[in-house]
Amino acid sequence: MRTMNGRVVDDAMRPIFKYCLQRWTVKNIRIVVDFEQWVQFVRDYNELLNEIGMVNIVIKSISGGYLEAEDAHIILSMAKVRHLYYEHYLSQGTGVRQASYKVTLNTPSLEVLKIKRSLGRNNINFEITRCAKLRSLSIDSNSQTCLTSSHEPIELKSISKDRQPDLSRLNLSYASMTTGILGATFGYLHHICLKHVRIIPHEHPIECQNLTKLVLHNLSMDKPLKLRTPRLQALICNICALNWLQLEDALQADRISINAHAFRSIRMVHPASLSFFRRMNLTLSRSCRYDREWFNVHGSYLEEVRELRVSDEFPQDHHEHLQDVLGRFTAVSSLSLRRMRIPSDFSYLTPNVQKIHIKDCETETNSIRFPPSVCCVEVCNMWKWNTTAEEGIVTDCEMILLPKGRFGPLRSRIAHGRKGKVMAPRTIWSTQRVTV
């Protein structure tokens, strides 16, 4: 059983719903109803949900823009639910800004809780103190107003190491976090993901003793975010968040992923704290303006990077900017290029580059030259548009990797792809695996 719509609360549907739960072993259920129907559903069928492991609840609206006193508090008691998804977005113009209600979860087996709500229009608060096995909490408020106010998710104020000893993962979108919440939540979490979050940081570093993965995108703050992360392994962020980040005691950190979308040219507050990363993923964007000064100054601090992956491309002068960026990472020995137009000559690469991997890239030539230091080139779905003769015969393309004889053979195939508004033929190459 996957979906139950609003008709489930009608008298005629009650025996059918009960029969379905008794007849089959229902492991997950999705309920899509109006708020009034949801209140009645909880009253009539709450006990029938005790045996279900995954529940997805979608609330569509609140009629009239107000709630009765007895409807403002919902108690969900589900003994065996492990995954709960609760979504309540209100459409534009519903006029329910004053509506609010509370949801108390009596779910001793709950492990994953995902909340989606529009706090600019209704205020939905969850009491999660009775979720002793909770290990992952996601809150998406979906409202830009949260970034300009001092609002903090009430759920964050109630979580603690004593009440949720297994909680290790937090995903937060469109909210504000002050010093008290930062210190209380960052201290014992293993995975933190913050997107569109307004942060008021500590003056001193926040202790993150267990943090292994940190994801930061589009943060709003006016002073550095200082974190002490002795166990950090991976950092994923965009440049705007990176400019305000200061890491301490993170010598063991291995991987950094930077998204260059929505680039704002400001100086990084503490670039030296990035000098220990050894693997780097750099994702470009067609809307990203290339900032030579930022890459020249701050890119030089990433001197320990040994493996570099660059995805997508710059909107203008891509080959020129790509050459400039690759020249910043002099210690790289393994280079991966994805989803971009690649040049015909890589002779400018630093002498340390030994291995190159090309995947889902376009080329405009029939040959590509590599420097003497490169001993291995792997190709996966590199393609070039074919030319069509006057008789309509598609001419195949040949690809040569230079110097000749150094790299493995390529196998080719012809396939059609969308070129503008029409479908056109192209030749696709991949490294031919030699079996013994």
Q: What is the pLDDT of residues 372-388, one digit of tens each?
A: 999 999 999 999 998 76
- Residues of the chain with pLDDT > 90: what percent? 39
Does any domain span residue 420?
A: no
Mean pLDDT of 268-272: 70
Does any domain span residue 22?
A: yes
Does any domain span residue 201?
A: no
Does any domain span residue 336?
A: no
Q: Which own/partner contact pairs does 42-46 have at CB distance under 8 Å and 24+ positions apart?
A: 42/74, 42/75, 42/76, 44/9, 44/14, 45/8, 45/17, 46/75, 46/76, 46/77, 46/78
Q: Which own/partner contact pairs does 291-300 have at CB distance under 8 Å and 24+ positions apart?
A: 291/263, 291/265, 292/324, 293/265, 294/239, 294/263, 294/265, 294/268, 295/324, 295/325, 295/328, 296/328, 297/267, 297/271, 298/268, 298/271, 298/274, 299/325, 299/328, 299/329, 300/328
Does any domain span residue 351?
A: no
pLDDT of residue 1: 39
pLDDT of residue 96: 46
Does any domain span residue 397?
A: no
Q: pLDDT of 77-112, one tens digit each?
A: 999 999 999 998 765 554 444 467 889 999 999 999
Most confident of 99-108, 152-161, 225-234: 225-234
Q: pLDDT of 235-254, one tens digit each?
A: 999 888 888 888 989 888 99
Q: Given pLDDT bands bounded at 50, 70 and 90, which one contains residue 7?
A: very low
In angstroms, the CA 93 to CA 75 distance is: 29
Q: pLDDT of 60-73, one tens digit each?
A: 776 655 556 556 78
pTM of the model: 0.86
H/E element holding 242? helix 239-242
Does any domain span residue 126?
A: yes
CA 188 to chain CA centroid, Å, is: 21
pLDDT for residue 429 is more than 90:
yes
pLDDT of residue 164: 83
pLDDT for residue 339 is more than 70:
yes
Q: Given pLDDT bands bounded at 50, 70 and 90, which one contains residue 6?
A: very low
- The domain containing residue 8 runs over which residues? 1-139
pLDDT of residue 361: 97
Does any domain span residue 394?
A: no
pLDDT of residue 398: 84
Q: Is 169 exposed, middle or buried (0-12, 13-18, 19+ CB in 10 A)?
A: middle
Kindly report the average pLDDT of the chain as a whole number: 83
Q: Which of 2-11, 69-78, 402-411 has the lowest mean pLDDT?
A: 2-11
pLDDT of residue 149: 53
- Higher-confidence position of 212 and 224: 212
Q: pLDDT of 160-190, one tens digit each?
A: 777 788 899 999 998 888 767 777 788 889 9
In angstroms, the CA 191 to CA 135 distance is: 10
CA 284 to chain CA centroid, Å, is: 15
Rg (CA), the chain: 27
- Count: domains in the chain: 1
